[in-house]
Structure 1
Amino acid sequence: MEISSIHGFTIEQGVLTLEKTAQKQWNENQLKIGIPKETAAEEQRVAVTPEGVETLINAGHAVFVEKGAGEAARFGDDLYLLAGAQLANSAADLYAQAQLIAKMFPPTGEELRLLQDRQILISALHLGSATAGLIQQLMTQRITAIGFEFIRDPDGTFPIVRMMHEITGALSIQLATRFLESTSAGRGLILGGISGIPPATVVILGSGIIGEWAARTALGYGANVLVLDTELGPLRQIEHFLSRNVTTAMANPQYLRRAIRSADVVIGAKMKHGQRSPVLITEEMVAEMRPGSVVIDLMMDQGGCIETSRPTTFSHPTFIQHGVIHCCIPNLPSAVARTSSIALSNVLVPYLLEIGEQGSINNALWYNASLRNGTYVYRSHLTKKSLATMFNMPHRDIELLIASGI
């Protein structure tokens, strides 16, 4: 077998592969990590908890935390100081010192201006509100941007998305019980569990993680639960996971209309990874629901899956259309900011450790498929085909970019 080497590449049996060598980006594998205070409206989570910071510090990394970053999630500055973090007086100070920024919400316009050339950004992207301008700015500044929505482990799971979706699904039913109350202009129903009284009907569109945890929680309340999906495989899975305690059906338009008409609560949880959510429940279907029924669209950060949905907030969580109460809060897990922050930190910190240990973002992306899958902008290139299609922009293959050393 003939093997030759050209500028760090190995030619073996006519195939060009990369012979990786250590490419150090930070000294002695010490990564400088910045945890800013979220500035998006009503975003109360923090990307890394004090416990996560302590783990990173013990691994030899430096962590900068903006003052007040964890306050809304009940993590005070004193806890971060005890963990070994250095407090930054302002976002500008923090962005200027850090090599990697870890945050919950996509960068705002002001935060985009604070990003440094070739910095690493790990955050959510929120496909429903992402713009071509955001992508272009990240490319212009040669940022390596990794999105929570795209980080996929070798077993096919999306670990950060899964954690947030479990919380979202459970929390949606908690909200539905409140909005069904007479004091919220609802139908005046309790979900179930009362002897001699038929339970309320909860219809869940989507049998993924959100749908599963919404169904689990609704069953715990004693509700009658119907799960609909356009795919048979996930419906089989949810039946198995929930020991056939739910009714499942294919979401063809005729059956979907009939199910929505009989529902007391409709949970919109149908998504496509890396794409905008499909709109499957039409305004006409919503108009046929009973007055005081509740619709909760959990896909607003992906564009929404119910035609009548529009974004709402924690301060104004609902609106009424066709007599139906709508709740469409995009960042729902922020309502339980402490739980959500702990969940995110537990999943995110191992990835930060991996990046730090590799000595450079290039090495980390080369050796860690999960991080490579999560990268949507690599320096000046868009690397996700789905985003390229959405924004009519060119894209490049991430593996070829890393291999070529661009």
Structure 2
Amino acid sequence: MRVGCPKEIKNHEYRVGLTPESARELTHQGSEVWIETGAGMGIGATDAEYEAAGARIVEGPDPIFAECEMVVKVKEPQAEERAKLRPDQVLYTYLHLAPDPEQTADLVKSGVTAIAYETVTGPGGQLPLLKPMSQVAGRMSIQAGASALEKAHGGRGVLIGGVPGVLPGKVVVIGGGVVGFNAAQMAVGLGGDVEILDRDPDVLERVGTFFEARAATRFSNKTNLEEAVCAADLVIGAVLIPGAAAPKLVTRDLLKQMKPGAVLVDVAIDQGGCFETSRATTHAEPTYVVDDIVHYCVANMPGAVARTSTYALNNVTLPHALRIAKMGWKEALRANPHLAEGLNVHAGKVTYRAVAEELGYDYLPVAEALG
């Protein structure tokens, strides 16, 4: 199979779908790999390194979209990329379709077979291709929030860890999954007063056992959520419903009861965000203010630490890429039901139930798509 990797074009996106090491694995297995010139520069990978790995360097993205059977990316295809997709092609990348009707419509129209990293499953319902980026984003959320809390950046002027004789900042983490757990680790490490909310008793038990007295846990109902948010200096939105739009847990009305200059970091923004006032931002302009509350809603947070993120991502995406390239997408999905969960769009049909229900499409079960 001919596998292509274009340069990412989303604002301040420096990651790349394939590292030179991943390209070498694919070529070693017998696949032909095309890399757009300069695609790896954001992680310090040169064209020469890709060529040494056996890849072919091509000018611009057009040859990849026109001639490669599988396109491997990091972020969802932008409008100009979607226009180049075709029915006999596999797209393997993050998609986050539920809050993105325009992208979904374009993918359906293109006829492409689109496999989304974020819905590929693992044992026990885990999301192994989402996990490393969730770890990165969770940890980065505290860095970003700490910076936004600085007075010069519009925040309350609070240091998360405080100093002797001055109380630390209050950090509230909504959601105790991978993002929330990693955010809490960073906040605790900085010396913050940390509280984690979740609705799953098992999650609360797990994080409570891990953090012991270093972080408090609280069941997430409406009353507890409102009390915690109103007391917070920094709120991390870390709620995920796989494949579906995130629930709006913090309303516009609640903002008026928060401390002026408090910060909201919405890590769920890829799935539409879990704050009512959230809208996607970029690394170029990461924050905005609503009702005196600073919002940080960058949709590709891990792109800022591109090298770490790319290698962490390739560690989990490459094994499936190798299977698809060797077996073809149908056989690879038939052989691996976890990978089959990643199929979101095929031949003009939506094949992921949550996306179909959210956006009003007829749902085509994956088993039918596989024939």
- Taking structure 1 as the reference length, what is the TM-score of the superposition? 0.87
CA distance in 2, matches of 1:61, 1:283: 51
Residue type at the aligned position of 1:220: G
Which residue matches 1:178? 147
Any idea what the Cα deviations from partners look like across 1:357-381, whole Å, max 9, x if unmatched?
A: 32x2111110011221100123343
The secondary structure found in structure 2 opposite 1:202 is strand
Any idea what the Cα deviations from partners look like across 1:90-116, whole Å, max 9, x if unmatched?
A: 211112221100111112222122123
Residue type at the aligned position of 2:296: C
Residue type at the aligned position of 1:234: V
Mapping of 1:221-232 within 5 angstroms? 221-232=190-201
Mapping of 1:179-218 within 5 angstroms? 179-192=148-161, 194-218=163-187
The secondary structure found in structure 2 opposite 1:242 is helix
CA distance in 2, matches of 1:288, 1:40: 35
CA distance in 2, matches of 1:129, 1:362: 27
Mapping of 1:277-292 within 5 angstroms? 277-292=246-261
RMSD: 1.7
Answer yes or no: is 1:65 the counterpart of 2:19.
Answer: no
How far off is 1:74 after superposition? 2.2
Any idea what the Cα deviations from partners look like across 1:334-375, whole Å, max 9, x if unmatched?
A: 1111111111111111111112232x2111110011221100
The secondary structure found in structure 2 opposite 1:337 is helix
How far off is 1:129 after superposition? 4.2
Answer yes or no: is 1:33 the counterpart of 2:9.
Answer: no
Answer yes or no: is 1:43 the counterpart of 2:13.
Answer: yes
How far off is 1:157 after superposition? 1.1
Residue type at the aligned position of 2:31: H
CA distance in 2, matches of 1:309, 1:361: 36
Which residue matches 2:347? 379
Which residue matches 2:74? 104
Larger radius of gyration: 1
CA distance in 2, matches of 1:158, 1:224: 29
CA distance in 2, matches of 1:244, 1:55: 46
The secondary structure found in structure 1 opposite 2:274 is coil
Q: Which of residues 230, 235, 241 in structure 2 aligns to 1:266?
A: 235
In structure 2, the CA distance between the partners of 1:181 and 1:109, relative to structure 1 (3 Å rule), is closer
In structure 2, the CA distance between the partners of 1:382 and 1:141, relative to structure 1 (3 Å rule), is same
Answer yes or no: is 1:126 the counterpart of 2:96.
Answer: yes
Residue type at the aligned position of 2:127: F
Answer yes or no: is 1:54 the counterpart of 2:24.
Answer: yes
The secondary structure found in structure 2 opposite 1:371 is helix
Stretch of structure 1 that moved more, 62-71 or 183-192:
183-192
Stretch of structure 1 that moved more, 345-354 or 179-188:
179-188
Any idea what the Cα deviations from partners look like across 1:216-259, whole Å, max 9, x if unmatched?
A: 01011011110112332322222233345321112222222211
Residue type at the aligned position of 1:268: G
Answer yes or no: is 1:162 the counterpart of 2:131.
Answer: yes
Answer yes or no: is 1:95 the counterpart of 2:95.
Answer: no
Q: Which of residues 306, 317, 321 in structure 1 aligns to 2:286?
A: 317
How far off is 1:263 after superposition? 0.8
Which residue matches 1:24? none
The secondary structure found in structure 2 opposite 1:222 is coil
CA distance in 2, matches of 1:181, 1:113: 42
Asked whether the equivalents of residues 154 and 369 of structure 1 are also in contact (C-alpha less than 8 Å), the reply is no
Q: Which of residues 322, 329, 334 in structure 2 aligns to 1:361?
A: 329
Which residue matches 1:135? 104
CA distance in 2, matches of 1:176, 1:72: 24
Residue type at the aligned position of 1:55: E
CA distance in 2, matches of 1:164, 1:205: 18
Stretch of structure 1 that moved more, 136-145 or 215-224:
136-145
Residue type at the aligned position of 2:209: H
CA distance in 2, matches of 1:155, 1:195: 44
CA distance in 1, matches of 2:296, 2:224: 24
Residue type at the aligned position of 1:76: T
Residue type at the aligned position of 1:391: L
Stretch of structure 1 that moved more, 212-221 or 265-274:
265-274
Asked whether the equivalents of residues 56 and 353 of structure 1 are also in contact (C-alpha less than 8 Å), the reply is yes
Residue type at the aligned position of 2:314: S
Any idea what the Cα deviations from partners look like across 1:283-337, whole Å, max 9, x if unmatched?
A: 2222112222211111111111112222222111111222221111111111111
CA distance in 2, matches of 1:116, 1:227: 45
| Structure 1 unmatched runs, 5+ | 1-30
- Aligned positions, number: 371
Which residue matches 2:338? 370
Q: Which of residues 356, 367, 371 in structure 2 aligns to 1:388?
A: 356
The secondary structure found in structure 2 opposite 1:299 is helix
Asked whether the equivalents of residues 53 and 80 of structure 1 are also in contact (C-alpha less than 8 Å), the reply is yes
Asked whether the equivalents of residues 127 and 303 of structure 1 are also in contact (C-alpha less than 8 Å), the reply is no
CA distance in 1, matches of 2:105, 2:264: 35
Residue type at the aligned position of 2:144: L
| Deviant stretches of 4+, over 6 Å | none
Any idea what the Cα deviations from partners look like across 1:261-282, whole Å, max 9, x if unmatched?
A: 2111111111211110001111
CA distance in 2, matches of 1:173, 1:324: 16
- Taking structure 2 as the reference length, what is the TM-score of the superposition? 0.95
Residue type at the aligned position of 1:171: M
